[in-house]
């Protein structure tokens, strides 16, 4: 029976909420999200170089998918796991279905690459093969090769005296077959393309936007590496290794040592994918698969175009403003702009501040909060969680400044933030050397919360200030991710954060009571389930039940079941879910009261909002947690209520704008597919993200107008005196 037939069969019947047919697969719905990302590259309304960016994002996303998700599934298969997921699939079945979808995505990606290269050519941005260069251009690139690339190359022979070499993760490699002129014996050699050595993947020739691939330059200068030999063929390949190498905590005496070992293990981890150029011979393909220990039919992917398309970020970054979205410069928050006073005075006297990035500046809000805390003589202590940060972020420097200024500084560093382990180990050591208290959270739990906690001696005693957000303290992603945050000095939240940081720095969990925060793993899931059930109960008494969630993923089965029950009770449920979503909307008798929307745009949607109508006494929450089992049960997350009515109005605006978006929104159907919404009026041509850019500007302009008007009144009053 087809999936659509199963859905039709379900309608009009009693539903068993444990039935696999009611749940979509996590991996397949994440791949479906990548179809939507790919569509942004296919959409002619997207500026050309940003279409290239979306093409490269797909390449990067699929690399990570194989490293994390396929890698994990292969480990399960290797361990003999046959347990079915909630959607009724074994690990092996998931791999098979995912590979089928991936091959279709790759075919579409390749078609898009060809279209974009043609369009780039019309804009005089050309990516050409070495053989397309004229004599002068070849001489220029050959000279560059001899001076800048040749010394970096290390050809490795493969024969009984030279075993098959180690192939590092995501490296580009050339398999070169050579022979002597008077001999038929073929020698096989591997040459690693030395990317990451300061040479771009796409090498520019001359002053114009003419580019040739790094590996193509090497392939056409092999005579320098193999003099007096015949080059039979030269073929490109690339491997992807499993990123799931974490050891259990009881296997290591020291957490830092464990993580460093895991990083080394990842480099040598098992192969989960082999990509080969479309011209590679079947014998060489089979040889590589055998040497790498993978299935030549299922784990080998032919790439007819540019391999490692993630590197197309280089092309997408070309400075041609007319080929990009209009440049967005984050604005100062309207309450923090201009010559505003001490930020702590603003929060204390005027109330909590709601932040929306990247529309409002991370630098002049969150970084300012830390900067002023680091030098304010009244600030006694700073505590924060650090999941990811960047080398260009000022966050680390402000923490160092605070310590040097005699303040007590404590940082909870998450060493297991995947793909940032090495950077976080570096930062942890750097901070410890400066005398900062560094801890690594709670054994067995990732610390994923986004919190800065400041204790200040105000005129009326100690007061606690905080930033609680949905995004990392990372200056780079703050310009690319759509996140929100709260600056507050709420007394109860301050009490809760004192408890939270004691929990994090002690490393174990005695019973703690929280007044307002919903932290995981102990409280958040129960808090969400209780509020869903409350909406059901209130709606049953004739009230207008309404639940609205904005999250990156909805994967947790218990929350999904509770939302199904809410829909069956008549409660309306709006879900803005960026990628993975297990729930099927629109099934009569089960989920006809549920709408699922996904927003895709120039910024990555990353914030989390949880709203409950609560019989008119509305509740809004924001925080770091997605609705995934790992976030709710295996991580330390922080979700906070947003209680001031003006700030609730701002959150209401975000939800309303995104739910009415018809430019960047996709609506999920009952079978798990998505339909792109289409504008029906001129005003609907503007995406939600574009509207947020405009709204941030309007708020700031209005604040400046009022400030100017207030200043004029003061001047007039002085003149009258």
Q: What is the mean pLDDT of residues 464-480?
A: 93
Confidence at residue 334, expressed as pLDDT on a 0 to 100 scale: 94
pLDDT tens column, 558-595 = 999 999 999 999 999 999 999 999 999 999 999 999 99
The model's pLDDT over 338-350, given as tens digits with 9 standing for 90+, comes to 777 899 999 999 9
Mean pLDDT over residues 1-17, rounded? 62
pLDDT digits (tens, 9 = 90+) for 140-182: 999 999 999 999 999 999 887 788 999 999 999 999 999 999 8
User: Of residues 333, 448, 467, 474, which has the active-site annotation?
Assistant: 448
pLDDT in tens, 41-97: 999 999 999 999 999 999 999 999 999 999 999 999 988 999 999 999 999 999 999
pLDDT in tens, 259-309: 455 444 444 458 999 999 999 999 999 999 999 999 999 999 999 999 999
> What whole-number distance in Å separates Cα of residue 540 and Cα of residue 601?
38
The one-character DSSP state at 424 is H
Instruction: Spell out the residues 6+ positions from residue 707 whose beta carbon is closer than 8 angstroms to its own.
Output: 338
List Cβ neighbours of 47 (8 Å cut-off, separation of 6 or more): 322, 323, 324, 325
The arithmetic mean of pLDDT across residues 369-376, rounded, is 97
Q: Are 698 and 360 in contact (CB under 8 A)?
A: no
Return d(Cα 2, Cα 671) in angstroms, integer. Answer: 10
DSSP code at position 299: S
* Exposed e or buried b per residue across 261-282, where buried means at least 16 C-beta atoms within 10 angstroms of its C-beta: bbeebbeebebbbbbbbeebee
Q: Active-site residue 209, yes or no?
A: no
Look at residue 195 and give its three-state secondary structure: coil
pLDDT of residue 212: 98
Residue where the block lists tokens 């500026």: 47
d(CA 280, CA 284): 7
Helix 26-42, helix 91-122: angle, nearest 10: 10
Q: List, for residues 378-393, the tens digit of each pLDDT value.
A: 999 999 998 877 666 7
Residue corresponding to tokens 């092309």? 315
Q: How many residues does the chain have?
A: 721
| Residue where the block lists tokens 């491997």 | 239
Q: What is the SS3 assignment for 360-387?
A: ECCHHHHHHHHHHHHHCCCEEEEEEEEC
38: which 2 tokens? 């790919």
Confidence band (pLDDT; 50, 70, 90) for 720?
very low
- The four Cα atoms 281, 284, 285, 287 give a dihedral, to 10 degrees, of 160
Distance CA 579, CA 27 (A): 10
| Mean pLDDT of the region 512-541 | 94
pLDDT > 50? residue 37: yes
What pTM was estimated for this model as a whole? 0.91
Ramachandran area for residue 284 (φ above 0: left; ψ -120 to 50: alpha; else beta): alpha
Nearest to 605 by CA among 692, 669, 537, 512: 692
Mean pLDDT along residues 184-204: 94
Q: Name every residue whose Cβ is closer than 8 Å to that of residue 461 and which is 6 or more positions away in sequence.
A: none
Q: Using CA atoms, how far apart are residues 620 and 637, in angstroms rounded to an integer?
A: 17
Helix, strand or coil, per DSSP, at residue 703: helix
Domains of the chain, first to last:
46-323 (3.30.1840.10), 343-516 (3.30.870.10), 519-685 (3.30.870.10)
């Amino acid at each position: 029976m087809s999936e659509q037939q199963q859905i039709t069969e379900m309608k009009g019947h009693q539903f068993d909420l444990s039935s696999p047919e009611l749940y979509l697969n996590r991996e397949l719905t994440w791949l479906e999200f990548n179809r939507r990302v790919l569509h942004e590259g296919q959409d002619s309304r997207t500026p050309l170089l940003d279409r290239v960016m979306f093409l490269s994002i797909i390449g990067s996303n699929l690399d990570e998918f194989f490293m994390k998700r396929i890698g994990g599934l292969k480990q399960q298969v290797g361990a003999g796991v046959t347990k079915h997921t909630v959607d009724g699939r074994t690990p092996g079945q998931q791999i098979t279905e995912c590979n089928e979808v991936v091959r279709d995505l790759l075919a579409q990606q390749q078609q898009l690459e060809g279209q974009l290269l043609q369009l780039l050519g019309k804009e005089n941005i050309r990516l050409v093969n070495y053989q397309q260069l004229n004599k002068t251009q070849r001489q220029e690139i050959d000279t560059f090769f001899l001076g800048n690339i040749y010394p970096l190359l290390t050809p490795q022979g493969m024969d009984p005296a030279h075993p098959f070499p180690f192939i590092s993760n995501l490296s580009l490699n050339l398999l070169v077959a050579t022979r002597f002129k008077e001999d038929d014996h073929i020698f096989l050699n591997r040459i690693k393309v030395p990317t990451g050595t300061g040479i771009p993947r796409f090498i520019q020739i001359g002053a114009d936007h003419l580019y040739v691939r790094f590996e193509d330059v090497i392939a056409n200068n092999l005579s320098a590496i193999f003099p007096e030999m015949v080059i039979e063929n030269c073929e490109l390949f690339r491997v992807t290794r499993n990123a799931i190498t974490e050891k259990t905590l009881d296997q290591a005496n020291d957490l830092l040592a464990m993580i460093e070992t895991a990083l080394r293990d990842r480099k040598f981890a098992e192969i989960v994918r082999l990509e080969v150029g479309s011209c590679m011979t079947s014998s060489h393909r089979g040889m590589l698969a055998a040497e790498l220990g993978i299935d030549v039919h299922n784990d080998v992917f032919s790439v007819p175009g540019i391999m490692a398309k993630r590197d197309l970020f280089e092309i997408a970054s070309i400075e041609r403003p007319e080929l990009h979205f209009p440049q967005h410069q984050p604005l100062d928050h309207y309450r923090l702009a201009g010559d505003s006073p001490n930020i702590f005075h603003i929060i204390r006297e005027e109330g909590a501040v709601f932040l929306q990035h990247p529309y409002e500046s991370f630098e002049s809000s969150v970084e300012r909060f830390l900067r002023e805390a680091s030098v304010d003589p009244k600030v006694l202590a700073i505590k924060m969680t650090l999941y990811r940060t960047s080398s260009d972020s000022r966050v680390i420097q402000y923490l160092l400044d605070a310590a040097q200024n005699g303040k007590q500084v404590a940082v909870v560093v998450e060493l297991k933030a995947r793909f940032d382990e090495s950077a976080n180990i570096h930062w942890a050591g750097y901070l410890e050397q400066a005398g900062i208290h560094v801890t690594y959270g709670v054994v067995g739990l990732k610390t994923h919360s986004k919190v800065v906690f400041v204790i200040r001696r105000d005129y009326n005693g100690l007061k606690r200030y905080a930033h609680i957000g949905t995004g990392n303290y990372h200056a780079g992603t703050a310009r690319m991710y759509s996140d929100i945050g709260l600056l507050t000095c709420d007394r109860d939240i301050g009490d809760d954060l004192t408890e939270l940081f004691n929990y994090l720095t002690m490393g174990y969990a005695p019973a703690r009571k929280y007044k307002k925060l919903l932290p995981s793993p102990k409280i958040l899931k129960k808090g969400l389930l209780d509020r869903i059930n409350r909406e059901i109960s209130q709606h049953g008494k004739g009230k207008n039940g309404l639940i609205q969630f904005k999250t990156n993923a909805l994967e947790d089965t218990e929350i999904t079941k509770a939302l199904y029950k809410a829909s069956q009770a008549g409660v309306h449920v709006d879900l803005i879910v960026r990628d993975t979503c297990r729930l099927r909307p629109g099934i009569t008798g089960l989920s006809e009261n549920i709408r699922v929307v996904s927003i895709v745009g120039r910024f990555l949607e990353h914030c989390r909002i949880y709203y409950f109508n609560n019989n008119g006494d509305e509740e809004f929450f924001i925080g770091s947690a997605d609705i995934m089992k790992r976030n709710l049960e295996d991580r330390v997350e922080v979700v906070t209520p947003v209680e001031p009515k003006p700030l609730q109005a701002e959150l209401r605006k975000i939800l309303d704008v995104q739910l009415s978006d018809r430019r960047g929104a996709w609506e999920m159907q009952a079978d798990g597919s998505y339909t792109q919404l289409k504008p029906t009026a001129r005003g609907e041509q503007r995406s939600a993200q574009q509207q947020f850019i405009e709204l941030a500007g309007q708020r700031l302009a209005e604040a400046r107008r009022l400030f100017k008007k207030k200043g004029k009144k003061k001047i007039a009053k002085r003149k009258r005196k």
